[in-house]
Structure 1
Amino acid sequence: MIGGVWVTQFHESLRGIILVGFALLLINLIVSEKLANFISPKMHIYVYIALFIFLLLGFILILSSSSEMNAHQCGCAGDHSVPKTIFGSIFVYSLFIFPLVTGFLFSDHILTNDAAIKRGHKYGEGIFSSTSNGNPPSDPNLTSLEAKKIILLTNENFLPVLDQIERNLQHFVGKKVQLEGFVYREPDFTKDQIVVARFGVSCCTADAVVFGMAVNGDSLSSLSNDTWIRVKGTIDVLHYNDSELPVIVDPTVEKIDTPSQPYVYDTYEQNE
């Protein structure tokens, strides 16, 4: 009986430690400001709730494991069974420990060109096809965009402004534009064609899709895939796969460091 109680207490303690470990992983992502590398800011509230629950349950398990009251005396008449073999325990707990360890080791990983090739680039209309009438919740004003001397695509407005340009391309031909992104190439692009791309995230990186604007220029062949650049140029029309798409011509290209926030999100709110 004593041995059984010790085994139960050990498993409770280990489970509590694992829960606290996941809480510490979330705290690390929050403090290091890397949480946005995995989920959209609109989902962060659920991470905070999970963090609280992990800490609460983890400490309860750890404290109960060191208490004189063991699992068989809780009075709940429930099943408190633990894995019957050592190998069973190793297998079950490794399912939780392995992602926990890898989370600490690779918490700064971001999606790259390899993932972009597998997922493909989102072209044409419909960036916000999942929302009402195909428009983002707060669509940037078309007249306001046309009045700008230079259209700046920032982290905050990247998706809705790109959506406006694609849906109203003829209004923007000849306009100056500036944006930042990583170098991505379609398999059938020439050496002087690239896409200045960003991963757009709706909820988490599992649903990330590549968005961006094509660029044509003689100096682009020397740029390696995944290189982060800032591009400024003039919007023109590219005929690609039976679609008319915006393309930047006469570009000025500047290499930049990978930004702290590499993804863009559909959380734009206009402040005009």
Structure 2
Amino acid sequence: MSGNLFLRGVILLGFALLMFKFIVTGQIQQLIAPKMLPFLYFAMITLFMLSIIQIWRSDNKHMVCCGCGHHKSNARFQSFVVYVIFVFPVLAGFTFSNHVLDSSVAAKRGIQLGGMAGSGTASDNEEEFFSQLFGNQIEEVPMEKGEKVDKNQLGKALLAADKVVFTRENYLAALEIVHNNAENFIGKEVELTGFVYREPDFAKEKAVIARFGISCCVADASVYGMLVSGKHLKSIVNDEWVKVIGVIKQTNYKGNVFPCIEIKEINKIQQPNEPYIYEDLL
């Protein structure tokens, strides 16, 4: 009994230390949205306290254990299986490096263009793809300091600016504004940063410059970006991070018209320390 309590305490301590490691190294921002950090702090402290209690109980000389020996072998095997289930994620978290979501994940999550309906309208799958791709259903976007983007003010600022610059703070709102008001932005210069993603039927001169948006954690991540085109893309492969400068045009894809950046200049860049953008559900 005391051995089991001690092992349980060590496992709980392992989970607490794993959370601490993610926070200290900054890797936690690749797993959850900043608004979830208070819950992580609470869980880490709680697990640490429970681990200390379990380890202390394992050394309690007054604990009574049944020594009748009924079903010992079966119980030991079940305990071993349960402990392995909990120990494995702790060891994996300390052993393996963190992986940033890329285009392969985007494809596996169903970001594929379906066939066009006979009426000339987009299919349900295609509508869902472009809803994610262009962010046209995002209601409000968080600023880094917890402030919300005022889309009316942002729209006026983007229209008045000589260049539309997409930043981490305005990314989703700016995509929505440009997509829903594309005719007002045609011919305007734009700057966009993200990773390169191509649908299977895209030519080498076409791609999507995108970023993953997270609501709570990587499990709910979606892709947001814009179509781009130009001969500069021929030497760029999927998942490379680039900064694109170009002019907003319109393009026809499978019977639908969408805003598209005609590239004037493209530069490969290092993946940002904070590759994701964060949505606010509150």
TM bracket (short chain): 0.7 to 0.9
Asked if 1:213 corresponds to 2:220, the answer is no
Q: CA deviation at 1:139?
A: 3.7
State the match for 2:82 in structure 1: 92
Q: TM-score, normalised by structure 2?
A: 0.82
CA contact (8 A) 1:236 1:247 kept: yes
Q: CA deviation at 1:27?
A: 0.7
What is the rounded CA distance, in whole Å, between the counterparts of 1:166 and 1:237 in structure 2? Answer: 10
Percent identity of equivalent pairs: 38
State the match for 2:120 in structure 1: none
What is the rounded CA distance, in whole Å, between the counterparts of 1:145 and 1:237 in structure 2? Answer: 18
SS in 2 for 1:231: strand
Q: TM-score, normalised by structure 1?
A: 0.84
Asked if 1:54 corresponds to 2:62, the answer is no
Q: How many residues align?
A: 251
Q: 1:196 to 1:98 in 2, by over 3 A?
A: same
1:1-272 map, 5 Å: 8-70=1-63, 84-119=74-109, 120=111, 122-124=129-131, 127=135, 129=137, 134-136=139-141, 138-140=149-151, 141=153, 142-267=155-280
Q: CA deviation at 1:69?
A: 3.4
What is the rounded CA distance, in whole Å, between the counterparts of 2:273 and 2:73 in structure 1? Answer: 43
Q: CA deviation at 1:84?
A: 4.4
Partner amino acid for 1:55?
Answer: F
1:103-133 deviations in Å (ceiling 9; x for gaps): 222342111111111221742588363x6xx
State the match for 2:121 in structure 1: none
CA contact (8 A) 1:176 1:232 kept: yes
5+ residue gaps, structure 2: 67-71, 113-128, 142-147
Q: CA deviation at 1:14?
A: 0.7
SS in 2 for 1:244: strand
CA contact (8 A) 2:32 2:217 kept: yes
Q: 1:109 to 1:65 in 2, by over 3 A?
A: same
State the match for 1:77 in structure 2: none
What is the rounded CA distance, in whole Å, between the counterparts of 1:109 and 1:192 in structure 2? Answer: 28
SS in 2 for 1:245: strand
CA contact (8 A) 1:201 1:207 kept: yes
Q: CA deviation at 1:83?
A: 8.9
CA contact (8 A) 1:215 1:251 kept: no
Q: CA deviation at 1:243?
A: 3.2
What is the rounded CA distance, in whole Å, between the counterparts of 1:71 and 1:255 in structure 2? Answer: 66
Q: 1:58 to 1:71 in 2, by over 3 A?
A: farther
What is the rounded CA distance, in whole Å, between the counterparts of 1:72 and 1:169 in structure 2? Answer: 73
5+ residue gaps, structure 1: 1-7, 74-81
SS in 1 for 2:235: coil
Q: CA deviation at 1:143?
A: 0.7
Q: CA deviation at 1:42?
A: 1.3
1:51-97 deviations in Å (ceiling 9; x for gaps): 11111101111111112232669xxxxxxxx9943322221011111
What is the rounded CA distance, in whole Å, between the counterparts of 2:64 and 2:37 in structure 1? Answer: 35
What is the rounded CA distance, in whole Å, between the counterparts of 2:257 and 2:5 in structure 1? Answer: 61
What is the rounded CA distance, in whole Å, between the counterparts of 1:251 and 1:188 in structure 2? Answer: 23
